[in-house]
Amino acid sequence: MLVDSHCHLDFPDFSDERDAVVARAVAAGVRRMVTISTRVKRFPSILEIAESHAEVYCSVGTHPHNAAEETDVTTEELVHLSQHPKVVAIGEAGLDYFYDRAPRDAQATGFRRHIAAARETGLPLVIHSRDADADMAAILEDETGKGAFPFILHCFSSGRGLAETGVKLGGYVSFSGILTFKKSDELRKIARNVPRDRLLVETDAPYLAPQPFRGKRNEPAYVAYTAMVLAETIGVEAGELSAITTDNFFRLFRKMPRPNGRSG
């Protein structure tokens, strides 16, 4: 059994065949998917997808790209919306200095509100960080100092220092299809240094399809390809890697019931 800890099933890329995409994932052994919120405004459509598939759960939050559009989203609102049984995480929130689509101060303010919601609910915060290593590390240190909160550095593509800071502060590190790209030697080196009990895999579908699908639309079934490369990278069998990442997943996303037996 595998789990896709991060995908975007609400994106229009999937609107024609969402049911088929979920079915292909389940057929490939991906028994749980978390579809990740990027706008609280659109949360109802995410929730609807989670409610219509037993294998799909969701998060609630504002992506840093959309931080300026949702400056009115409070910690209280996030906490309130997260009470639905299908909501298992807060986010994705964080800092994206590569695209800089929202002013940096709006990104940081929104991010800290999401941190407060994660701390209050105990739900893991899904963190998006791109080209923002120093500020991300500083905020994580500062906020953890006020009180620990569970988190995951999703689609990890930052430097070694941020991975180390994340692990030191109790966080998990999730690898996407980027890990399978030829040029990702440095990233594979970082993955080898992450403690095994902090490793996760994800697709970030529809983006970042792993090899051999690079450049095509990604989907949750393909998380198996990233898992295969991660297994090779850290030197374990594929089955052991599935067990490691799935155990980690259910420890972190603790609100989600673990499926029993072969179905469910």
Return residues touching Zn ion (CB under 5 A): 36, 92, 128
Distance of alpha carbon 93 from alpha carbon 91, whole angstroms: 5
**Distance of closest approach, residue 128 Cβ to Zn ion, in angstroms:** 3
What is the DSSP secondary structure assignment for residue 244, as one 8-state letter?
Answer: H
Residues 96, 103: Cα–Cα separation, whole Å: 10
The distance of closest approach from Cβ of residue 236 to Zn ion in the complex, given in angstroms and rounded to an integer, is: 26
Residue (10 or 92) nearer to Zn ion, CB: 92
> What is the smallest separation between the CB atom of 261 and Zn ion, expressed in angstroms?
31
Closest to Zn ion by CB, 95 vs 231, is 95
Residue nearest to Zn ion (CB): 128
Nearer to Zn ion, 75 or 218 (CB): 218
Give the C-alpha distances (Å, rounded to integers) separating 97 from 38, 139, 190, 195, 264: 17, 15, 21, 27, 40
In the complex with Zn ion, the residue whose CB is nearer, 32 or 128, is 128
Nearer to Zn ion, 213 or 236 (CB): 213
* 8 A C-beta contact, residue 44 and residue 78: no
Question: What are 128's strand-pairing partners?
Answer: 94
Contact 130, 98 (CB under 8 A): yes
Distance of closest approach, residue 36 Cβ to Zn ion, in angstroms: 5
Looking at the Cβ atoms of 66 and 231, the one nearer to Zn ion is: 66
Q: Report DSSP letters for 43-97, one per residue.
A: HHHHHHHHHH-TTEEEEE---GGGGGGGTT--HHHHHHHTTSTTEEEEEEEEEET
Distance separating alpha carbons of residues 91 and 70, to the nearest angstrom: 13
Question: Least distance in Å: CB of 148 to Zn ion?
Answer: 23
Rounded least distance, CB 31 to Zn ion, Å? 20
